[in-house]
Structure 1
Amino acid sequence: MRIILVHGNCHGAWCWYKVAAMLRSQGYSVTAIDLAACGADPRRLPEDISTFDDYSMPLMELVAAVPDGEKVVLVGHMFGGLSLASAMDAFPDKIAVAVFVAAMMPDVNHAPSYIFDQHFKQSPELYVDIDFNSIIVPGSSEAITVTCLDPEFLASKLYQNCTFEDLTLASMMVRPTSLFLEDLSKRQAFSKEGYGSVDKVYIISGEDASIRADFQRWLIENNPVNEVMEISGADHMAMLSKPRELCECIKSIVDKFAD
């Protein structure tokens, strides 16, 4: 069964290189994708990408192309959880299980932006160190909030348990992006029939300094899942700080839900 790895905001497919290599070496079919204007994707924000649908389109197209009768396993990290939810809502019959790795996981009762509102309330100090810039979308009077993570924030909030080499790679590879909250706040909740019908597993990063473990548990309480796992000692970038442990978690999930 094919595994699709979805990165979080400002990142790209490159951040999965350790986990993808481990899974492939053990015979699993793995695709790590770049969402729009991320990683090696040539599009730019906001010139080419200005909505959440634009941003998530590479994943939507990939899942749409899955042949009828086949299913995939989706694995999403941080903001990638919202892209997973969109694919789950649109193609519930094509997804065997969705795995949220220290990811923002929406519910079926509130607009998708609700979980970010709650995160802002519970961790306001986190956003003091992030630069948010409002940029007018070309050809429109509407603005979009764009951000990029600086090296100090990466080191202290995301990569504190990673190697210096991986932190250096991140500082060279991250790109500006948006949380598209202007867009997500106007949307209806994801549906029970689509998103709500797909099996879900949440993997908690025990030493996450960005989406802290207590908030990850709140996300699970807000939207219960089929199974919860936890990786002790993992910072926000579990795929880099604890790749072997994350790989084992994904393997056990695939083996369980592939039947």
Structure 2
Amino acid sequence: MGNKFICMTKKDTKTGGFGSKSKRGSMSRRRGSMEEELLHKQALAMAIQQHQLSQRFDNGSMSRRIGSTSSRRRAANLSDPFSGANTKQLPEFLENIKTKKFVLVHGEGLGAWCWYKTMALLEETGLLPIALDLKGCGINITDSKNVMTMEEYSKPLIDFLQELPEDEKVILVGHSSGGACVSYALEHLPQKISKAIYLCGTMISDGQRPFDVFAEELGSAEIFSSESKSLIYGNGKDNPPTGFMFEKQHLHGLYFNQSPAKDVALAMVSMRPIPLGPMMEKLSLTKEKYGTCRRFYIQTLDDHALSPDVQEKLVRENSPEGVFKIKGSDHCPFFSKPQSLHKILLEIAQIP
């Protein structure tokens, strides 16, 4: 392969072909496209494996987590186009990270599948990512209309934390409304979480509902009106709505305004209705439990679903230990800015 490359270079230096900026740029784009294709194939393989495993276990079992040992081995053998880490420095780098297990919690309508780029990056770096499907999400078989409380919604996360060895802790990452699940976990199992990271997340106050964070920006819009096509009446029109699902024309502008087309296509066929009950539930958060945990916030500065102003307000009212910002990111930085997100996750992990 190397000899062929040298021959092509010599041949084309006469015409300025292969060595020209335009040719190099063209090759770089093709290589980038091939590497992106590799990541999508990896995500599909992980999803297939998870689906096969799910047929053999009960709902909410260990098999329902993307990030098994075998998938980590496969990912470690793949060349990851998003990784900016120098592999020669990895051993020293990892010594600075005390907690190596990341638990990734998706936001409304999404599932464990949405973290495939972040998981590949973390695995390539030598860390241990686990992505969970909340109840009624991803490939979890529960009908979302039957998920009525935050306790039910967060059960896969709580079960996972409870099953950890007694002396083991994790870094918990919650995206969007998944931030409320992180807060719920901090209140119930603070001893299992070394750091909590809210990724454009609903870092709500005591007595606040996850929905309240979005209501300020979207509550008066047609999306949440009584006539909205986004509302889902799982128990019939005579009963209160059980969930909501943004229409496709809204989704692209709200969530994926900077995301690659392939990731948007993946989301459009993979997203599920959002259980409304957990979003409307007021959380009880105490200083003795939730208040003792280390919290960090990552702001997304081109976010149309949860604007920078709303995120800034959450930070002012809830005072995390650290705040990080991703320029040019929409509401789904794991799609639109995976490398920037990865860099920040590693930076937070290294904070003593």
The TM-score, its normalising length taken from structure 2, stands at 0.66
**Equivalent residues of 2:174, 2:182 under 8 A apart:** yes
Corresponding residue to 1:125 among 221, 230, 233 = 221
For the residue of structure 1 that corresponds to 2:257, the secondary structure is: coil
Q: CA deviation at 1:183?
A: 5.4
Q: Which residue of 2 aligns with 1:230?
A: 325
Q: Which residue of 1 aligns with 2:53?
A: none
Q: Which residue of 1 aligns with 2:180?
A: 82
Structure with more helix by fraction: 2
Do residues 5 (structure 1) and 100 (structure 2) align? Answer: no
> d(CA) in 2 for partners of 1:53 and 1:135?
20
For the residue of structure 2 that corresponds to 1:184, the secondary structure is: coil
Query: Sequence identity, in percent?
Result: 29
Q: Which residue of 1 aligns with 2:139?
A: 40
Larger radius of gyration, structure 1 or 2? 2
Corresponding residue to 1:153 among 246, 250, 262 = 250
**Equivalent residues of 2:137, 2:272 under 8 A apart:** yes
**Equivalent residues of 1:204, 1:229 under 8 A apart:** yes
Question: Unaligned 5+ residue runs, structure 2?
Answer: 1-99
Q: Which residue of 1 aligns with 2:303?
A: 208
Corresponding residue to 2:336 among 233, 241, 251 = 241
For the residue of structure 2 that corresponds to 1:220, the secondary structure is: helix
Q: Which residue of 2 aligns with 1:97?
A: 195
The TM-score, its normalising length taken from structure 1, stands at 0.89
Structure with more strand by fraction: 1
Relative contact order (C-alpha < 8 Å, sep 6+): which is higher?
1
Q: Which residue of 1 aligns with 2:316?
A: 221
Q: CA deviation at 1:11?
A: 0.4
> Using a 3 Å threshold, how does the CA distance of structure 1 residues 68 and 37 change in structure 2: closer, same or farther?
same
Cα deviation code 1:50-89 (max 9, x no counterpart): 2221111000111111222221000000010010011110
- Which residue identity is paired with 1:80? G
Cα deviation code 1:67-113 (max 9, x no counterpart): 222210000000100100111101111111100000111123xx131
> Using a 3 Å threshold, how does the CA distance of structure 1 residues 86 and 130 change in structure 2: closer, same or farther?
farther
> d(CA) in 1 for partners of 2:279 and 2:204?
16
Number of residue pairs aligned between Structure 1 and Structure 2: 248
Q: CA deviation at 1:163?
A: 0.8
Q: Which residue of 1 aligns with 2:260?
A: 163
> d(CA) in 1 for partners of 2:279 and 2:296?
28
- Which residue identity is paired with 1:75? V
> d(CA) in 2 for partners of 1:198 and 1:41?
29
For the residue of structure 2 that corresponds to 1:180, the secondary structure is: helix
> Using a 3 Å threshold, how does the CA distance of structure 1 residues 83 and 31 change in structure 2: closer, same or farther?
same
> d(CA) in 2 for partners of 1:26 and 1:64?
26
For the residue of structure 2 that corresponds to 1:30, the secondary structure is: strand
Shifted more, 93-102 versus 172-181: the winner is 172-181
> d(CA) in 1 for partners of 2:118 and 2:161?
21
> Using a 3 Å threshold, how does the CA distance of structure 1 residues 179 and 103 change in structure 2: closer, same or farther?
farther
Stretches of 4+ moved more than 6 A in 1?
Answer: none
Q: Which residue of 2 aligns with 1:62?
A: 160
> Using a 3 Å threshold, how does the CA distance of structure 1 residues 182 and 18 change in structure 2: closer, same or farther?
closer
**Equivalent residues of 1:75, 1:101 under 8 A apart:** yes
> d(CA) in 2 for partners of 1:130 and 1:105?
28
Question: Unaligned 5+ residue runs, structure 1?
Answer: none
Aligned Cα RMSD in Å?
A: 2.1
- Which residue identity is paired with 1:161? Q
Do residues 198 (structure 1) and 296 (structure 2) align? Answer: no
Q: Which residue of 1 aligns with 2:170?
A: 72
Q: Which residue of 1 aligns with 2:345?
A: 250
Q: CA deviation at 1:40?
A: 1.1
For the residue of structure 1 that corresponds to 2:286, the secondary structure is: coil
- Which residue identity is paired with 2:155? M
For the residue of structure 2 that corresponds to 1:136, the secondary structure is: coil
